[in-house]
Amino acid sequence: MPIDPSIHTIDTAFQRDDFGAAYLITEAGRAAFIDCGTGLSVPAMLAALTRVGFTPEQVDWLIVTHVHLDHAGGAGLLMQQLPNAQLVVHPRGAPHMIDPARLIAGATEVYGAEEIARSYGPILPVPAERVVIAEDGYHVDLAGRPLLCIDTPGHARHHLCVWDERSRSAFTGDTFGLSYRELDSDQGAFVVPTSSPVQFDPEPLKHSIGRLLALQPQSVYLTHFGRVGDIPKLGADLVEQIDAMVEIGRQCDGRADRHRCLVAALTELYVERAMAHGCRLDEAAVVRVLAMDIELNAQGLACWLDRDRR
């Protein structure tokens, strides 16, 4: 799986090292960012440009896979530093980039005001005239290099993935799950779906994964975290786990201790699979790596159960 030298991984320094990534693609003296992290990530984004000998004036595009704050929270602040760039976003996400008030309120309800300030920094609007709405099939032109935007609901209804035919790579935000390098083994990468609140929907998510697999990518670039290969295996692993998560949700639903039940069952699922994968960490260390995601996945499953009941 050769590394394409025009694709650069940027650690957005969200929460910890090697947890949140954004990407820089360079082509014929022009550049595009895919995702941008939080307002606190802007210095890392600009430093990545400097490292490859580019200036902010050479950036034509900032494409956000979806508007969750760890992916797009810094868009408004970053766009202030990119005088020639346009922001590309899913139609459902565009209003939240232009006026992030509801986005901030929703995240504050989930995480709390103190955590929003600590982890996300300033969340600023993007001027409407600089926002490009990407319907399914929209092509971003990066100096003649087409970047295809694909509607990929399931993690969120406002999610798109980016297909780069040149490198046969997909930039998948949260649609193709998360995979932390600490959990790699001799069998390769270990992957877990992400069902964080509030729009998780298992059947659309499996369909979106299927669309990505149909492209036969050589590489997938995840926000959490980095480039992975062996895509057919990881795709099958994700679908198996989504089905298992649905079953866990059904079993825990209706219980007075539903959240505790969801957390315990998800923990057991992921640890069992990690050990079978040959992860080098012990079970307690696997839980520490996945603790935040287990909590968010439990919350997302609960949102889906409640919505599905209605």
The 10s digit of each residue's pLDDT in 58-71 is 999 999 999 999 99
DSSP per-residue letters across 86-130: EEEE-TTTHHHHH-THHHHHHHHHHH-HHHHHHHH-------GGG
The 10s digit of each residue's pLDDT in 163-203 is 999 999 999 999 999 999 999 999 999 999 999 888 999 99
Q: Are 28 and 150 in the same domain?
A: yes
Q: Are 164 and 290 in the same domain?
A: no
Residue 141 pLDDT exceeds 60: yes
Q: Are 267 and 147 in the same domain?
A: no
- Residue 125 inside a domain? The answer is yes
Q: Are 130 and 244 in the same domain?
A: no
Give the pair of three-digit tokens for residue 94. Answer: 């565009």
Give the pair of three-digit tokens for residue 19. Answer: 């947890």
Q: Are 156 and 11 in the same domain?
A: yes
Judge contact between 93 and 66, C-beta under 8 A: yes
Confidence (pTM): 0.95
Q: Are 213 and 270 in the same domain?
A: no
Q: Are 117 and 39 in the same domain?
A: yes
| Average pLDDT estimate for 257-284 | 98
Report residue 116's pLDDT band, with 50, 70 and 90 as the boundaries: confident
Which pLDDT score, from 0 to 100, does residue 180 have? 97
Judge contact between 110 and 197, C-beta under 8 A: yes
Q: How are strands ordered across the β-sheet holding 131-133?
A: 7-11, 21-27, 30-34, 59-63, 86-89, 131-133
The whole-angstrom separation of Cα 34 and Cα 223 is 10
| Average pLDDT estimate for 5-33 | 96
Q: Are 73 and 115 in the same domain?
A: yes
The whole-angstrom separation of Cα 216 and Cα 231 is 8
Q: Are 126 and 75 in the same domain?
A: yes
Which pLDDT score, from 0 to 100, does residue 109 have? 81
- Residue 88 inside a domain? The answer is yes
- Residue 172 inside a domain? The answer is yes
DSSP per-residue letters across the chain: -PPPTTEEEEE--SSSTTT-EEEEEEETTEEEEE----GGGHHHHHHHHHHTT--GGGEEEEE-S---HHHHTTHHHHHTT-TT-EEEE-TTTHHHHH-THHHHHHHHHHH-HHHHHHHH-------GGGEEE--TT-EEEETTEEEEEEE--SS-TT-EEEEETTTTEEE-TTTT-B--GGG-BTTB---B----SS---HHHHHHHHHHHHHT--SEEEETTTEEE--HHHHHHHHHHHHHHHHHHHHHHTT-TTHHHHHHHHHHHHHHHHHHHHT-SS-HHHHHHHHHHHHHHHHHHHHHHHHHHH-
- Residue 192 inside a domain? The answer is no
- Residue 111 inside a domain? The answer is yes
Portion of the chain with pLDDT greater than 90, in percent: 89
The whole-angstrom separation of Cα 65 and Cα 181 is 22
Q: Are 213 and 280 in the same domain?
A: no
We report the CATH number of the domain holding residue 24 as 3.60.15.10
Residue 139 pLDDT exceeds 80: yes
Cβ-based neighbour number of residue 82 at 10 Å: 24
- Residue 72 inside a domain? The answer is yes
Q: Are 30 and 147 in the same domain?
A: yes
Which pLDDT score, from 0 to 100, does residue 283 have? 97
Residue 152 pLDDT exceeds 90: yes
Give me the domain span that covers residue 62.
7-183+199-230
| Residue 49: partners with Cβ closer than 8 Å, 6 or more residues away | 24, 31, 55, 56, 58, 59
Q: Are 170 and 271 in the same domain?
A: no
The number of folded domains in the chain is 2
- Residue 189 inside a domain? The answer is no
- Residue 63 inside a domain? The answer is yes
Which pLDDT score, from 0 to 100, does residue 15 have? 87
